[in-house]
Structures are given as C-alpha cells and as structure tokens.
Amino acid sequence: MRGRVVVEGVRFAAGVASAPSGVVTLWKVATGGKAVGCLPASSVPELLHAAGLLPIALESPKDLSLLTGQVDAWLVGTGPHPFPIPPGEIPRFIFPCLPPDSLEEALDRVEALAEWVCAVSGHPASEGALWKSIRTYGIRRSLLDALDERCIRETAFLTPEEHRDIVRAGIFLPTEAHSRLLSSILGIDPEPSVLPAGGEKGDPLIVLARRFCD
C-alpha cells in the first residue's frame, strides 16, 4: 500500500502535467517573473533560473495550447523544431545547436545568452545566483535518478503513466518545487548540495560552457 503523501504527490503531478497553466500563473504572480519557452530544452537552464525566469521545455503544440498567453520570451535552437513558434513581438534568442569548436566559442555563446537573459528578466544572473542554480538543478537530477532507480527496484511503486506525469510536471514547475515533489514521493531528503567537480571555484559561466565541449 502506498502512503497518503505518495498518492497526493502523484495526483498533484498528474494535475500539473495535464493543466499546467494554473501553476505557471501562480508562479508568475508570486514572483513577478517571466516564463521562457525553450525549443528544444535549454542545455543551460541554470542561466534562466538564476535571473528569476522560468524555463519551460515545450514538447508539442498541445503543450503550447495549455499555456496560451503564458510564454513571455522564446529560447530556440537552430535545428528543426517540433512545431512552429507562434509569430509575435515577444523577445527571442537563437542558440546554436552545432558543437562549438573550442571552449572559448562555447563561452561566447553562454555569455551572449546571459546578456539576453538579463535583458528579458531586467536583472543579471549574479555569480552567487548561478552557483545556487547549478546546485538546485544538480539536486533535481539526483532525485530524478533516485526515482528511476526506485521504479526499477520496485516495479509496483508507480505505473508508467504516473512516472511520466511526475517527470513531465518538472517541465512546468520551478525546479525547487519539482524537487520537493520528488523528495516527498520518494520519502527522502534531497542532498544538501550537489557541487560540480572541484566545487564552486572560478567562473560558473565557464562551468556551463564546458557542457558543450564534453
């Protein structure tokens, strides 16, 4: 038998996955922040998060229809998109999809994105906010890994549909909220911090840029 916390968490995730507009609206009202539609999912969501933006990796036209009027800016790749970006005057940034030739080129791309993020949000992503975001996303990734391991180990813990809804809820929820949902369903406390190799040393933009060179 699953406990009440798990049942309620699964139910909440299903509601977010099927009707995300409500939680996005609440987040925008509570924070005054803006939502950025990402096609494809951003490789450096920490940049947006650190500047007080909500990155939303839309997967289909249906996702966009569920968020009518909620997307305040677009971050798009140069490759084919799963659906056309709606026309309009809202800000958009095109991030190259091809691998960079060097770390310097990767850093130039990340710095250009950081400048655009600052213009959209109205304030820059500080070094401290970037390190916090890197930790926050690291915690969420570790919880998602723990969820997958639990489902493999205990095949009756979640149905495939429930697992999909829990993961999909993370598209629309702030990362911290998704981590709280995951940790409550799993019945575990998230790690207090997840640091990159070498700890929080140097420029976090270089840490993000290295992702494109690995």
Confidence of residue 89 (pLDDT cuts 50, 70, 90): confident
Cα–Cα dist 137/143, whole Å: 10
The pLDDT, as a whole number, for residue 13 is 98
Q: Which residue has the tokens 């959209």?
A: 120
The pLDDT, as a whole number, for residue 90 is 94
Is the CB of residue 77 less than 8 Å from the CB of residue 172?
no
Domain ranges of the chain: 4-212
- Could you tell me which of 134, 157, 173 has the C-alpha nearest to residue 56? 173
The pLDDT, as a whole number, for residue 2 is 77
Of 83 and 34, which is predicted with more confidence?
A: 34
Q: For residue range 91-101, what is the model confidence (pLDDT) as tens digits?
A: 999 999 889 99
Residue type (1 letter), 196: P
For residue 198, pLDDT over 90 is answered with no
Confidence of residue 128 (pLDDT cuts 50, 70, 90): very high
Tokens of 175: 């990362």
Report the half-sphere exposure of 109 (CA within 13 A, side-chain side).
Answer: 26
Q: Is the omega angle on the peptide bond into residue 91 within 30 degrees of 0, that is, cis?
A: no
Mean pLDDT, residues 38-46 taken together: 93
Mean pLDDT of the chain: 91
pTM attached to this predicted model: 0.91
Mean pLDDT, residues 28-57 taken together: 95
Listing DSSP states for the chain in one string gives: ---HHHHHHHHHHHHHHH-THHHHHHHHHHH---EEEEES--S-HHHHHHTT-EEEE--SHHHHHTTTTTEEEEEEESS--SSPPPPSSS-EEEE--SPPSSHHHHHHHHHHHHHHHHHHHSS---HHHHHHHHHHHHHHHHHHHHHHHHHHH-TTSS-HHHHHHHHHHHHHS-HHHHHHHHHHHHT-PPPS--PPTT-S-S-HHHHHHGGGT-
For residue 192, pLDDT over 90 is answered with no
The pLDDT, as a whole number, for residue 1 is 59
Confidence of residue 108 (pLDDT cuts 50, 70, 90): very high
